[in-house]
Structure 1
Amino acid sequence: MPFRPERPRSIAAAWSRRLGRFAVLLALIALALHRVGMLELPNTVAAVLLATVLAAFVLGLAIIGFFMLWHIGAKGGHASFSGMVMALLILIPVGLAASRFVLLPRIHDISTDVQNPPEWLEEPEIKPSWISRFDGTRPEARQLQIQAYSQITGRRYEGAIDRVLLAVQTVAREKKWTQVANVGVEALVDGLEPSSGDAASQDAASQSNGEADPERAPLPAPRPNIEEESLAPMPSYAVVQYRARTLVLGIPQDVLIRLSEEEQTTFVDMRAATRDGEHDFGINADLIRSFLRDLDLQLLGIAGG
């Protein structure tokens, strides 16, 4: 009978697949729980970092499995390949995030007006955690923003503030942002939409059968003297604060939009900040760029310098 040597089995390859599955499940479950609001961001970061350490160990075990397969023909090639793929599923996104951590400035508060940023209407709730955090409004942080995001500036539009405000609210509604507080908004949008009284009168008219009803007859009222009444000046300043979350990871962000009317133009400033950590990985700058780009499309043709 021909001699058939029995191939040894690579323990490292087997453990690379087992630990790889555990690391991927740990990272996915942590991200999913954070996305639905059941796990705070610092705890999610801790779980992902633990999964990253396991993934690095899994990659080392997979390399050992490939080495044993090549030199002594040990079984475990499929297990080593599976472990390597699962390790890279974690290490590649974490590596991209680490590159942004190194290349981008360590700031978490971005504003289009560095000298006079808009003030929060409601101070964001910052919970203490193991992740360090500094004051994002200090001069050093603003200087880092100027160096890294010099293109992040406000917008001037050749239009009235009420029109620009409606466009801002439309874009924010499309992005599913939640309004937290505002100043000067009610006075600007008052009269732009039908009031409840108008709706009630339209509903009553729709229920009428066409016959005269003495009880519903309008009572005559004295006509006001419009010429002697002074019109209230239209507000030239408005601030709206929103709460947003990133699309994939659900990272909470606070957004502030300030509108200032100057003669026949309206200037729009923005401020965006994250609540955890001292590094935003550039997501606040991306949020401001995306919003202003969509606002330009909404107000197409009246954007100025």
Structure 2
Amino acid sequence: MPFRYQRPPSVAAAWSRKIGRFALLLAFIAVLFHRGGLLTLPNTVAVILLATFLAAVVLGLAVIGFFMLWHIGAKGGHAAFSGMVMALLVLAPVGVATSRYISLPAIHDVSTDVEQPPEWLEPQEITPSWLPRSDGDAPVAREQQVLSYPKVAGRRYDGAIDRVLLAVRAAAAERKWIPVANIGVEALVDGLEPTSETVSDEQLEQIASGEADPARAPVPLQRPDIESGVIESLPTYAVLQYRTRTLVLGIPQDVLIRLSEEEETTFVDMRAATRDGNHDLGLNANLIRGFLHDLDVRLLGIAGG
């Protein structure tokens, strides 16, 4: 009678696939719920840390499954491979975040002006949690920012503040930032030429064809007495505050933009901060660099250092 070798099943490989599915689903649901606003960031971090621990266990079980397959031919090669893949899908982004956590400074507030950063118009919505939180304006934090992000600096543009303000608002609107508060914006925007954002398509067609709208006909007013009257000058200072969220994880961020007119130039400063924890993983510096780059493109030819 011929002998048939019976391959024993690998319990470790089978469990690696089962636990791997649970760990991957747990991490995905945590990110999805946080992106939808159903789970706060500290709770999301806690759930992801649990999923990371399970993924590490799954990776160990998969290695045992491969070892048993190599030495005694145990069944479970496919299960060990699928478990390993699911574990890596959880561990890879966590590993990237860990490397940034170690290599970048533990700060959560970044400003282009470290000596006199713009002041928040509306206080940040900070909810106490198990994640530690320190003062972002501390001198130690600002020193760490200068050492780690030396290229995060303001911009000077050879143009009036009202023109630079239009470019700032257009860039913020393109990124779908939500306005929170502002100072000096209404006075600067009032009186500027209408753009396609403020004029309807029907009005643009009438302007292009030369047709006049009787309802919008100009009303003659008395010529102002310029010699005896007092002309109000436009403000030379404006601050805008926005709030936004990162694209994938939906981490909330608060943004400040300060414009200061100096003679015939306008200087733009920015400040960005996250709301939870002591570490932003470089998100705030990337936000400032990206926005200022977009602003340079919009104001191409008049940007300075």
Task: Name 2:209's counterpart in structure 1.
Answer: none
Task: Name 1:213's counterpart in structure 2.
Answer: none
**2:247 aligned with 1:247, yes or no?**
yes
Q: 1:63 to 1:221 in 2, by over 3 A?
A: closer
The Cα offsets for residues 85-138 of structure 1, whole Å up to 9 and x where unpaired, read as 000011111111101000000000000000000000001110000101111110
Task: Name 1:211's counterpart in structure 2.
Answer: none
Q: 1:263 to 1:71 in 2, by over 3 A?
A: same
**2:148 aligned with 1:152, yes or no?**
no
CA distance in 2, matches of 1:132, 1:178: 27
> 1:233: how far off?
0.8
> 1:225: how far off?
2.3
Indicate the SS of the match to 2:227.
helix
Gaps of 5+ in 1: 209-215
Q: Identity of paired residues, percent?
A: 70
TM-score, normalised by the number of residues in structure 2: 0.92
The Cα offsets for residues 132-178 of structure 1, whole Å up to 9 and x where unpaired, read as 11111101000101110111110000000000000000100011100
Indicate the SS of the match to 2:235.
coil
Superposition RMSD in Å: 2.1
CA distance in 2, matches of 1:275, 1:17: 37
The size of the alignment, in residue pairs, is 294
> 1:238: how far off?
0.2
Gaps of 5+ in 2: 207-211
CA distance in 2, matches of 1:130, 1:178: 28
Which 4+ runs in 1 deviate beyond 3 A?
A: 205-208, 216-224
CA distance in 2, matches of 1:172, 1:156: 18
Summarize the alignment of residues 276-295 of structure 1 with structure 2, pairs less than 5 Å apart: 276-295=276-295
The Cα offsets for residues 172-199 of structure 1, whole Å up to 9 and x where unpaired, read as 001110010000000000011559xx99
Task: Name 1:63's counterpart in structure 2.
Answer: 63
Summarize the alignment of residues 1-305 of structure 1 with structure 2, pairs less than 5 Å apart: 1-194=1-194, 206=213, 222-305=222-305
